A and B are shown apart, each in its own frame.
Chain A
Amino acid sequence: MLAKRIIPCLDVKDGRVVKGVQYVDFRDAGDPVEQAAWYNEQGADELTFLDITASLEHRDTVLDIVRRTAEQVFIPFTVGGGIRAIEDIRDTLKAGADKVSIMTAAVRNPDIITEGAERFGSQCIVVAIDARRTPREGRDDSDLGPAPDEQIQWRVHTHGGTEPTEVDALEYAARVEELGAGELLVTSMDADGTKAGYDLELLRRISVNAGIPVIASGGAGSVDHMYDAIDYGRCDAVLAASIFHFREYTVRQVKEELAARGVSVRL
């Protein structure tokens, strides 16, 4: 049976891991390649590098990380952050990444999804959707509660989740699939960093309508949260950062606990 995927995410800035595992045995804890190899040994199904470097001139640094990772780690990995043009997709894939994740550029210029899919295949185009709960127009009540109703929608945010747009996340998910996206990486900006759990309502609403895999992101603080994203949220994969980086769990522990609860995972 197709396994649910567990995907650690590494935030990389200026070629160094800034939100990564605090591991004393690393020769160089800031080296993304060494961390990637470590996650691979633990049984990570994929890896995601999120390049949070603001300036453009660091593109080469990222490509160097991609190249070195591809030489040593033989699981699929995705690179996100700063993918603005078709040339960025080409260069990143050529350096050895299996997929790119596109966020801001996909909102601004959805053609990049179609062109990327046509040139390189849908399978390598991941569209990242950063969404935040928002009251629908005319509603001033800011208490959005745990279970949203028709009064609430999720709005797509860009620029690392800082810039709100008018785009409805559920409609956007359907549209980018049609345009050729191969996977959806759905991050709740409300839940991100809270470790209180993924936004299950958001995930479920997107997943049940999607014909392509959905990766849950933002809010994972425990294995229960991951289980919920897979079970109730209907997601195909779960991405997490802090719980792995701070060694609260290893990837293997997560998988063993999920397996004990009947989830199909690669062990």
Chain B
Amino acid sequence: MIALIDYGMGNLGSVGNALGFVGCEFEITSDPKAIAAADGAILPGVGAFGDCMANLREYGLVDAIRAYVADDRPFLGICLGLQLLFSEGEEMGRHRGLDIVPGRVIRFRHELKIPQIGWNQIVGRQECPQLEGVADGSYVYFVHSFHVVPEDESVVAATTDYGYDFVSAIRIGNLFATQFHPEKSADVGLRILRNFVRTCDGW
């Protein structure tokens, strides 16, 4: 069973639809115990960084997610669900994140249109089971104004060029998180979700 974490801010419907489509059993939950018992956990997210963190605290999920990830169990963060893993975000004032991955979340620093909305290409930076079968240059769907800047470059799983190369996915062991939306990225996105579900088998 995969836990789709509900903290009042997520695009749960879309992610749930895509998980259902790839034939994965999942449960939408806010219960730390259900997360602790899950084979995999997905943290989606839409909204502002500070609001999302406030909701995670209010739902009592901060420690549950930290503990889950500390055990190196299969985890997928999507969009804000990637950004929240970092130490600090600068969206509408400085906010502390889950502080699982050292680094910051910053606004695009260029003259292009913000948010970036649409399909852009990813280039793999490390071997990842979650990106298996996804060719460099594959298009995925983005909607965001902020991007992550990890302190440790070795966590970078993929980058994307929007004005400059930014980090569009990270991977640390069984933790994988994307700035793009696999649930809206057609066949490429569904493949990434299938790959993730496969990494959850046997947990």
A: which residues have CB within 8 A of B? 1-5, 40, 45, 70-72, 74-76, 94-96, 98, 121-123, 182-183, 210-213, 236-237, 266
In Å, the complex CA distance between A123 and B141 comes to 13
In Å, the complex CA distance between A196 and B14 comes to 37
Known contacts A3-B118, A121-B46; A71/B189 CB under 8 A: no
In the bound complex, do residue B117 and residue A183 qualify as a contact, i.e. CB atoms below 8 Å apart? yes
In the bound complex, do residue A70 and residue B143 qualify as a contact, i.e. CB atoms below 8 Å apart? no
For window 90-110 of B, CB contacts with A under 8 Å fall at none
In the bound complex, do residue A3 and residue B184 qualify as a contact, i.e. CB atoms below 8 Å apart? no
Instruction: Give the dominant DSSP class at A's interface.
Output: loop
In the bound complex, do residue A98 and residue B13 qualify as a contact, i.e. CB atoms below 8 Å apart? no
B: which residues have CB within 8 A of A? 13-14, 17-18, 20-21, 46-47, 112-121, 139, 141-143, 161-162, 183-186, 189-190
Residues of A within 8 A of B120 (CB): 1-3
**What is the chain A residue whose CB lies nearest that of B190?**
A74
In the bound complex, do residue B117 and residue A98 qualify as a contact, i.e. CB atoms below 8 Å apart? no
In the bound complex, do residue A76 and residue B184 qualify as a contact, i.e. CB atoms below 8 Å apart? yes
In Å, the complex CA distance between A182 and B120 comes to 18
In the bound complex, do residue A96 and residue B115 qualify as a contact, i.e. CB atoms below 8 Å apart? no
Residues of A within 8 A of B119 (CB): 2-3, 5, 45, 266
In the bound complex, do residue B14 and residue A70 qualify as a contact, i.e. CB atoms below 8 Å apart? yes
Q: How far is the CB of A101 from chain B (nearest CB, A)?
A: 14
Residues of B within 8 A of A2 (CB): 112, 116, 118-120, 142, 162
In Å, the complex CA distance between A70 and B46 comes to 17
In the bound complex, do residue B190 and residue A3 qualify as a contact, i.e. CB atoms below 8 Å apart? no
Residues of B within 8 A of A95 (CB): 13
10 contacts between A and B (CB under 8 A): A45-B118, A70-B17, A71-B20, A74-B185, A75-B185, A123-B46, A123-B115, A212-B113, A212-B115, A237-B118
Residues of A within 8 A of B162 (CB): 1-2
Residues of B within 8 A of A76 (CB): 141, 184
Total A-B residue contacts, Cβ distance less than 8 Å:
74
In Å, the complex CA distance between A236 and B120 comes to 13
In the bound complex, do residue B161 and residue A1 qualify as a contact, i.e. CB atoms below 8 Å apart? yes
Q: How far is the CB of A176 from chain B (nearest CB, A)?
A: 15
Residues of A within 8 A of B190 (CB): 74
Residues of B within 8 A of A94 (CB): 13
Q: Which of B162, B183, B184 has most A Cβ within 10 Å?
A: B184
Q: How far is the CB of B92 from chain A (nearest CB, A)?
A: 12
In the bound complex, do residue B117 and residue A75 qualify as a contact, i.e. CB atoms below 8 Å apart? no
Residues of B within 8 A of A4 (CB): 118
Residues of A within 8 A of B183 (CB): 74
Q: How far is the CB of A7 from chain B (nearest CB, A)?
A: 10
In the bound complex, do residue A96 and residue B17 qualify as a contact, i.e. CB atoms below 8 Å apart? yes
In the bound complex, do residue B14 and residue A40 qualify as a contact, i.e. CB atoms below 8 Å apart? no
Q: Which of B118, B121, B141 has most A Cβ within 10 Å?
A: B118
Residues of B within 8 A of A183 (CB): 117
Q: Which of A74, A98, A210, A212 has most B Cβ within 10 Å?
A: A74
Residues of B within 8 A of A237 (CB): 118
In the bound complex, do residue B113 and residue A266 qualify as a contact, i.e. CB atoms below 8 Å apart? no
Residues of A within 8 A of B185 (CB): 74-75
Q: How far is the CB of B197 from chain A (nearest CB, A)?
A: 15
In the bound complex, do residue B186 and residue A40 qualify as a contact, i.e. CB atoms below 8 Å apart? yes
Residues of B within 8 A of A71 (CB): 17, 20-21
Residues of A within 8 A of B142 (CB): 2
In Å, the complex CA distance between A40 and B118 comes to 15
Known contacts A1-B161, A40-B186, A121-B47; A72/B21 CB under 8 A: yes
In Å, the complex CA distance between A5 and B142 comes to 12
In the bound complex, do residue B21 and residue A123 qualify as a contact, i.e. CB atoms below 8 Å apart? no
In the bound complex, do residue A211 and residue B113 qualify as a contact, i.e. CB atoms below 8 Å apart? yes
In the bound complex, do residue B118 and residue A75 qualify as a contact, i.e. CB atoms below 8 Å apart? no
In Å, the complex CA distance between A182 and B17 comes to 24
Q: How far is the CB of A235 from chain B (nearest CB, A)?
A: 11
Known contacts A3-B118, A3-B120, A5-B119; A74/B18 CB under 8 A: yes
In Å, the complex CA distance between A3 and B116 comes to 11
The 6 closest A-B pairs by CB, nearest first: A266-B139, A266-B119, A3-B119, A123-B143, A2-B120, A71-B17
